[in-house]
């Protein structure tokens, strides 16, 4: 067996991390509200490929690399992983974000968001700015700024092909933040719909929740997975029985609405 296949098999044998069960800033910009609802409820995910796992891992490695370089500039940099103070939650933890850090420039605090991009995406970011090149990232930092109450963000991306940097100061956008608040409210309180009528849509084929959304992958019964349950401000789940603590005879597996 070739060594690269052995490496892939080693990745496949790794223990799977439990699926997150909250709406996170990194996913709130996704255009499919059904995906966000599945994520809020902690539905299982389709395992990522070994290649995708390595892409994620490289992103974390490059994040530390960029933080080291930012510290060389002399600006005061607080790393999110060290300070423990840059995680923010709302609705009892059902909505959450974590900053890569905070950087102080010209005596002003900025949310720090670090991305690594391939050459094509990096060039697009340089040309169009993050709001138009990567609207999902723009939504992410807007939610971060709203939750942290820091009004500006240093968004910096490193080109994985050339190690070139490009950065942009992103300001809090009140209209975008209200839009995201309304979107989160819909997901928390209403049954969202899929983004497509067709499971072969490219957005569905590449989605980690495609198995539970389209293919009836098994889901362990739990109150949070029931269509009758709603998230509560204390971090739990409630239904018409009161506090949701166990699966009852009225349990109905949550499913998204079809598009109208």
The average pLDDT across 228-235 equals 90
Question: How do residues 112-170 score in pLDDT, each as one tens digit?
Answer: 999 999 999 999 999 999 999 999 999 999 999 999 999 999 999 999 999 999 999 99
Question: How do residues 188-217 score in pLDDT, each as one tens digit?
Answer: 987 788 999 888 999 998 899 999 999 989
Of 24-28, 74-78, 85-89, 93-97, the least confident: 85-89
Q: Please report the pLDDT score of residue 90 as a whole number.
A: 94
Is residue 83 over pLDDT 60?
A: no
The average pLDDT across 69-86 equals 83
Is residue 260 over pLDDT 80?
A: no
Which of these, 57, 54, 56, lies nearest to 8 by C-alpha position?
54
Q: Please report the pLDDT score of residue 84 as a whole number.
A: 54
Q: Please report the pLDDT score of residue 82 as a whole number.
A: 56
The average pLDDT across 4-25 equals 89
Is residue 14 over pLDDT 90?
A: no
- CB of 112 closer than 8 Å to CB of 71: no
Question: How do residues 53-63 score in pLDDT, each as one tens digit?
Answer: 999 999 999 99
Exposure string over 48-72, b if 16+ CB within 10 A, otherwise e: eebeeeeeeeeeeebbeebbeebee
Task: Read off the pLDDT band of 257 (50, 70, 90).
Answer: confident
> Percentage of residues in the chain with pLDDT exceeding 90?
72
Domains and CATH numbers, the chain: 12-219 (3.90.320.10)
The average pLDDT across 240-248 equals 75
Is residue 180 over pLDDT 80?
A: yes
Q: Please report the pLDDT score of residue 190 as a whole number.
A: 78
Task: Read off the pLDDT band of 1 (50, 70, 90).
Answer: confident
pTM for the predicted model, two decimal places: 0.92
């Amino acid at each position: 067996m070739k060594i690269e296949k052995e490496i892939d098999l080693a990745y496949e044998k790794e223990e799977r991390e439990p699926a997150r069960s909250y709406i996170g800033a990194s996913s709130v910009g996704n255009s499919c509200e059904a995906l966000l609802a599945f994520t809020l409820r902690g539905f299982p995910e389709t395992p990522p490929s070994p290649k995708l796992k390595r892409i994620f891992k490289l992103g974390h490695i490059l994040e530390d690399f960029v933080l080291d370089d930012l510290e060389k500039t002399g600006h005061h940099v607080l790393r999110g992983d060290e300070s423990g103070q840059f995680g923010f939650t709302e609705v009892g933890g059902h909505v959450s974000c974590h900053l890569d850090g905070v950087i102080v420039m010209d005596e002003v605090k900025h949310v720090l968001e670090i991305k690594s991009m391939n050459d094509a995406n990096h060039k697009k970011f340089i040309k169009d700015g993050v709001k138009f090149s990567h609207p999902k990232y723009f939504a992410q930092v807007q939610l971060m700024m709203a939750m942290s109450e820091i009004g500006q963000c240093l968004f910096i991306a490193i080109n994985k092909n050339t190690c070139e940097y490009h950065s942009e100061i992103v300001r809090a956008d009140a209209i975008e933040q209200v839009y995201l608040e309304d979107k989160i409210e819909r997901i928390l309180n209403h049954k969202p719909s899929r983004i497509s009528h067709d499971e072969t849509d490219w957005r569905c084929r590449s989605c980690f929740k495609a198995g539970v959304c389209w293919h009836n992958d098994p889901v362990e019964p739990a109150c949070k997975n029931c269509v009758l349950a709603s998230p509560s401000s204390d971090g739990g789940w409630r239904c018409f029985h009161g506090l949701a603590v166990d699966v009852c005879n009225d349990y109905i597996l949550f499913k998204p609405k079809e598009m109208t």
